[in-house]
């Protein structure tokens, strides 16, 4: 699968009812499944709907650079949660394929954040993404489908990870994790990976006016608390914690290796006899490090100065003897399943984990804005190329 050179793109931009439908020229053998919009929404005419018939493929194809390219109209303006703009999905999958040709591990590929509250749309796009990777001979074990940590997202991820039709599981990475109850619900759902956002957790506590210099870093404390809970309830090693959203190199060092204590994040201490100082902090299993922090890690100079700050008492959590149940198996594993988080989970979010309600909504809004920005950039480049 490969996009045609911009200078050779045919003039195939059309407008219906004021909305533009863009056509991607690919060598891909089979386009993703497409749901035709209803006639009342007038987002596209029936003549632009892609078909898998040989005659359609021949009529909507052209030769460029000695190879035959097919036109696939995969883009539709997002009108409902079940109508996902798929134009960029094949190209984003190509990026993942290229990364996997370099690294030995896994890559995360995200569903559209604008469908974070729709189980059917999340399932549909996740299956489309994984099928595209498989068409490039990438096994499912090397791909994590990134899904927002909403009740609908957690339920959809459970259905993907535990299929009842005998198919191979689709592994997931639940993003926008901000609370302990939310993390435990993901573990109870049997999900592969969760991604707590360390920096955004600290931002929320700063905004509450409860974070003061010298006190514990709430994002790091959350990860440590989640890891203790996973170990206590038997989920350690079954659901991995991949911390993300770091702001400083020292946060990465503390998170990656469990160095010192969470309240000593400002001073990663070097013990001359035993190496890095280790305390009671439970480290993450994996970390996602942004490029701008890699240079800071390369040039990091360890301090030999010890600190004596104390953690906030509210962050020291005690694991209950009886495990609180935040997720139960859904009554149906079909696309019309309902969210399977419990009333106890809802109660936890309204009381001790209010941060989840605030930050998940905020994160979805920011991710959606980024998705629209990316679509806008592609739209602008296509229009420029087609006007030449």
Active site residue 236: no
Q: Tell me the β-bridge partners of 24.
A: 72
The Cα–Cα gap between 161 and 170 comes to 5
| Among the listed residues 194, 191, 222, 232, the one whose alpha carbon sits nearest the alpha carbon of residue 323 | 232
- Kindly name the residue from 124, 146, 202, 359 that is annotated as catalytic: 146
**23/378 Cα distance (integer angstroms):** 12
Q: Quote the CA–CA distance of 179 and 95 in Å, as a whole number.
A: 31
Gap between the Cα atoms of 199 and 248, Å rounded: 9
Integer CA distances (angstroms), 262 to 62, 73, 198, 231, in order: 60, 51, 12, 18
What is the separation of C-alpha 126 from the centre of its chain, rounded to a whole number of angstroms?
Answer: 11
**Helix, strand or coil for residue 243?**
strand
In angstroms, what is the C-alpha Rg of the chain? 24
CB 324 within 8 A of CB 348: yes
CA-CA distance, 221 to 260, in Å (whole number)?
12
Cβ(269)–Cβ(309) below 8 Å: no
3-state secondary structure of 145: strand
Nearest Cα to Cα of residue 141 among 94, 187, 192, 103:
192
CB 85 within 8 A of CB 115: no
Selection from 372, 359, 374, 369 nearest residue 175 by Cα: 359
Residues designated catalytic: 146
């Amino acid at each position: 699968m490969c996009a045609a050179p911009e200078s050779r793109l045919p003039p195939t931009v059309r407008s219906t009812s004021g909305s533009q439908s863009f056509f991607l020229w690919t060598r891909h053998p089979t386009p993703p499944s497409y749901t035709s919009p209803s006639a009342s929404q007038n987002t596209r005419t029936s003549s632009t709907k892609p078909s898998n018939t040989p005659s359609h493929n021949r009529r909507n194809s052209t030769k460029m650079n000695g190879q035959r390219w097919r036109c696939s109209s995969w883009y539709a303006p997002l009108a409902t949660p079940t109508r996902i703009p798929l134009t960029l999905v094949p190209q984003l999958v190509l990026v993942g394929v290229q990364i996997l040709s370099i690294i030995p591990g896994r890559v995360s590929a995200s569903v559209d954040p604008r469908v974070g509250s729709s189980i059917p749309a999340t399932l549909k796009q996740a299956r489309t993404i994984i099928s595209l990777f498989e068409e490039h001979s990438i096994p499912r074990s090397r791909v994590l489908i990134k899904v927002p940590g909403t009740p609908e997202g957690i339920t959809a991820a459970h259905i993907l990870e535990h299929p009842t039709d005998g198919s191979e599981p689709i592994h997931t990475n639940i993003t926008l994790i901000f609370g302990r109850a939310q993390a435990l619900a993901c573990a109870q759902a049997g999900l592969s990976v969760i991604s707590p956002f360390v920096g955004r957790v600290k931002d929320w506590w700063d905004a509450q006016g409860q974070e003061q210099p010298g006190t514990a870093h709430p994002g790091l404390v959350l990860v440590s608390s989640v890891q203790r809970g996973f170990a206590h309830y038997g989920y350690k090693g079954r659901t991995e914690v991949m911390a993300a959203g770091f702001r400083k190199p020292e946060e990465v060092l503390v998170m990656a290796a469990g160095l010192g204590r969470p309240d000593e994040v400002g001073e990663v201490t070097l013990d001359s006899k035993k190496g890095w100082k280790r305390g009671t902090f439970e480290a993450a299993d994996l970390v996602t490090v942004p490029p701008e922090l890699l240079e800071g890690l390369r040039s990091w100079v360890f301090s030999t100065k010890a600190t004596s700050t104390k953690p906030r008492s509210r962050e020291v959590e005690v694991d209950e003897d009886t495990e609180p149940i935040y997720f139960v198996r859904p009554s149906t594993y079909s696309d019309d399943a309902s969210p399977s988080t419990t009333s106890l989970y809802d109660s936890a979010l309204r009381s001790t984990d209010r941060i989840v309600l605030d930050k998940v909504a905020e994160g979805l809004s920011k991710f959606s804005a980024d998705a629209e920005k990316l679509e806008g950039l592609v739209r602008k480049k296509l229009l420029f190329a087609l006007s030449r």
